[in-house]
Structure 1
Amino acid sequence: MAALAIGLTTAGGAVAEEGNFLTNMFKYGGPTVPPSQPKDLGEPYCPQVDVPEGGAAIRSFGGKGGDNASLRNQVTLGRIARECNRLADGGLSVKVGVAGQVLLGPAGAPGRFEAPLQISIKYGDKVVATRARRVAVSVAPGEAQGLFTVVEDGLIVPPAMAEDYEIVVTLGGSPAKPAPRKRKPAAPPAEAAGAAQ
């Protein structure tokens, strides 16, 4: 009986050895040790979006600037969301969504408006990635506002900067102006049309 107990203990010791067929079956679900996986780096750093002072709105006036009675329109940022995903090299891919609106002022009129929007990734004073675009917003007749939504994806943060960077969104440049209307070609003069017949 003692010999049997010793035998079982020895066999038990053998089963516990690393790399043993039985151990691998229990631990990994197969006869061999799977290749090592890259270590989990945890949740990616994804800072709140920063809107610089003066970068949340653009106002356009007719006549005397700063007089509310002459305000034509105001473009403002609304909700801003971001999503950060870790890349295989340790860097990040950042996605930013921006919602905003155009409000007509007392001197405003319905139409189509444009405003410059910039989304940047900064590391200290260095701009790592930036996207600039003009958002177009339409305000229909009888309405006082129009809405816009912008989504920018694939803003890349290098691995060395992935734990200490900023996301910056700003409205900037010249004030929002009605988009230039396409002029229709002038109709041919009546005499020329008669001559053609």
Structure 2
Amino acid sequence: MMIFTPLALRLTAAAATAVLLAGCSMGSMFGGGSAAQTQTLQNATATPAALAQAQSSALPAIATECPPIRVRPGSEAMFYYGSGKTGDPKALQYQGVIDESTRNCVVSNGLITVNMGVTGRILLGPQGKQSSVNAPIRFAVERDGQAIFSEKYTVPVAFVDPARSADFVKVVDNVAIPYLGGESIVIWVGFDTRN
């Protein structure tokens, strides 16, 4: 009389399964189908209607990736001094800083439609007596190093006594960027104090 241990039973079951699988035909899975099937697939061509349908449902590669938004170096802060005393901390009237930037995108028919936004603060300095300040914010989009969108916005920022700082938010909606595929696209934001 033979006694089977649990390990022996598992090994026997595994061997039986291997024998069963060996008997299965895997020809179609690895290209070993009939000669007629192989010939049909080799000579298959898509009809113009099938190509048009595939192209209309295909999305550009960037469909899963919104272009990055970055604060342009040198434009992350602004400082305003009075009476030509630039650089003197005691003469500072106000300064602005960018805290956060964000964007979201929708891709359709070769266009990336972007909504982009920025938040920041204006802080009054030792000489600051303003009740409001206009923050000059520029959004720009570059494709392969060339500007395809650039707009400067004046964002009013009001101070409520006794506060010496105030937050601001600016959102720009529905900026359409043509996209063919493979381009390098970057969204820039920052203070633009040039007149």
Classify the TM-score, shorter chain: 0.5 to 0.7
The answer on whether the counterparts of 1:84 and 1:95 sit within 8 Å (CA) in structure 2 is: yes
- Which AA in structure 1 matches 2:95? Q
2:82 matched to which residue of 1?
A: 62
Structure 1 residue 169 and structure 2 residue 186: aligned?
no
Q: Distance in 2 between matches of 1:118 and 1:138?
A: 20
Q: Distance in 2 between matches of 1:172 and 1:161?
A: 31
Structure 2 alignment gaps of length 5 or more: 1-52
Q: Distance in 2 between matches of 1:174 and 1:56?
A: 14
Residue 41 of structure 1 and its aligned partner are, at CA, apart by: 4.5
| Equivalent of residue 39 in structure 1, options 49, 54, 58 | 58
Matches within 5 A, 1:130-169: 130-160=150-180, 163-169=183-189
1:22 matched to which residue of 2?
A: none
Matches within 5 A, 1:5-16: none
1:30 matched to which residue of 2?
A: none
Counterparts in 2 of 1:161 and 1:117: CA distance versus 1, 3 Å? farther
The answer on whether the counterparts of 2:70 and 2:101 sit within 8 Å (CA) in structure 1 is: no
Query: Counterpart of 1:141 in 2: which secondary structure?
Result: coil
Residue 162 of structure 1 and its aligned partner are, at CA, apart by: 6.9
Deviations 1:138-163 (A, max 9, x none): 11221110111111011111022674
The answer on whether the counterparts of 2:144 and 2:183 sit within 8 Å (CA) in structure 1 is: no
RMSD: 2.1
Q: Percent identity?
A: 24
Counterparts in 2 of 1:92 and 1:44: CA distance versus 1, 3 Å? farther
Query: Counterpart of 2:180 in 1: which secondary structure?
Result: helix
- Which AA in structure 2 matches 1:135? V
Q: Distance in 1 between matches of 2:67 and 2:179?
A: 15
1:91 matched to which residue of 2?
A: 111
Residue 106 of structure 1 and its aligned partner are, at CA, apart by: 0.8
Counterparts in 2 of 1:70 and 1:124: CA distance versus 1, 3 Å? same
2:100 matched to which residue of 1?
A: 79
| Equivalent of residue 118 in structure 1, options 138, 144, 152 | 138
TM-score when scaled to structure 1? 0.64
Q: Distance in 2 between matches of 1:169 and 1:92?
A: 18
Count, aligned residues: 140
Counterparts in 2 of 1:161 and 1:120: CA distance versus 1, 3 Å? farther
Q: Distance in 2 between matches of 1:163 and 1:157?
A: 11
- Which AA in structure 2 matches 1:65? T
Query: Counterpart of 1:46 in 2: which secondary structure?
Result: coil
The answer on whether the counterparts of 2:152 and 2:192 sit within 8 Å (CA) in structure 1 is: no
Query: Counterpart of 1:160 in 2: which secondary structure?
Result: coil
The answer on whether the counterparts of 2:143 and 2:183 sit within 8 Å (CA) in structure 1 is: no
Q: Distance in 2 between matches of 1:72 and 1:144?
A: 11
TM-score when scaled to structure 2? 0.65
